Structure 1
Amino acid sequence: MTRAYERKKEPALVRRRLLEHGARLCGQQGVAGLSLQEVAETAGVTKGGLLHHFPSKQALVEAIFDDLMQAFEEIVQREMASDPEPFGRFTRAYINGTLDLIGREDRGGWSALMMSTLTEPSLKRKWVEWLDGHLQQEGRVDADPMLELARYAVDGMWLSGFFDAHDLHGSPAETLRRQLITLTRKP
């Protein structure tokens, strides 16, 4: 007896595809416009397959957010590891990581999810916990008012980049980056 073609199950790969396609669609349509059916179709799985990994739209959105936050955490950690100066290290990593994301082609998913922190309490809580965790861990070396000002400024640049309100690419962005990094150095 011959067996019909059987596709090897690769749950980790399927989950990864769902997260990537979900993030892309969030960037294109916003979180409110995200459809589980469309995510499943673009990822090449059934809606039932998607629901196996993520039992609700909320679970999918939170998993996408967690995935993107993990990627951002890796960027911040890499930046911090290469910075020998303790004072302002986290803030410099935060500035560089944020500005690098503004220039990325796939920033739409990041932007849509970060904007959702304004209206979605669970995402807001995750973001605040992440940021507070770093600020507590870094203690006094990132508590300086100038460092706080630099973090607020880069948050404003992120928001401006989301709305494409200003040219935050090339030379203007690099000039602003240098000025913000200057704020993070000990006086």
Structure 2
Amino acid sequence: MTDSDNAHRRKKQPEVVRRALLDEAAKLATREGLASVTVQAVAEAAGVTKGGFIHHFPNKQALIDTLCSELLDKIDDQIDGQMANDPEVRGRFTRAYLKSVFEAGTAGKLSPWAVLSISMLTDANLRRHWTKWFEGRLERHAETDGGVDLHIVRLAADGIWISDLFEMRTGDRRDLLDRLLAATSSE
């Protein structure tokens, strides 16, 4: 019995198949880079036909866009959680962003999302997703996080994020975090 025969006989579970396609694409990207994420490779890894892939995602770019959107949703949730626990209004978004960057860097082994993050450096479409998300957050928090001092802290966080992606030493992480957090204080 071929995979094609199995695909026709198994119970249809569209959400399970869609999730498998996304998970396998993330694994492939992590192991071999974003260029390795092809319709054929992802379909095979997920145990579905190319037609099954196309049923869920019309092309590779749609799959990558969905992975990027999921990353941004996770970052949003993490930042919103950090903000909810921060009693100081001024710089709340910047502190949450900074803490999220530090948490991502101390997670140990690079996650599948790290490859997508690195890919943003060379993929204009992924950069557009990130820029739109980030500008939306800045617009939403312009009143509390609009100062140049907070902009500098966010830029430092971005530098630390890139250093973490490339596994570069950034010194005493706790000291870095404490100093950058201090720079967001209204005192």
TM-score, normalised with respect to structure 1? 0.87
When residues 123 and 151 of structure 1 are mapped into structure 2, their CA distance, relative to the original with a 3 A threshold, is: same
Map 1:34-183 onto structure 2 (within 5 A). 34-105=37-108, 107-166=110-169, 172-183=172-183
Q: CA offsets per residue over residues 143-163 of structure 1, 9 Å max, x none? A: 111211111111111111111
Moved more, 120-129 or 82-91: 120-129
| 1:104 to partner: Cα distance | 2.4
**CA RMSD across the alignment:** 2.1
Give yes or no for contact 1:24–1:108 (8 Å, CA) kept in 2.
Answer: no
Following superposition, the deviation at residue 7 of structure 1 comes to 2.4
Cα shift at 1:61: 0.9
Runs of 4+ more than 3 Å apart: 105-108
Residue 27 of structure 1 contacts residue 109 of structure 1 at CA under 8 Å; is this kept in 2?
Answer: yes
Which residues of structure 2 form unaligned runs of 5+?
1-5
Which position in structure 1 is the counterpart of 2:3? none
1:47–1:167 CA distance, 2 compared to 1 (3 A): farther
Partner Cα distance (2:108, 2:177) in 1? 19
Aligned residue in 2 for 1:185: 185
SS, match of residue 125 in structure 1: helix
Normalization by structure 2: what TM-score?
0.87
Aligned-residue sequence identity (percent) comes to 38
Distance 2:107 2:14 in 1: 28
Q: Which amino acid aligns with 1:94?
A: Y
Whether contact under 8 Å (2:160, 2:170) holds in the other structure is: no
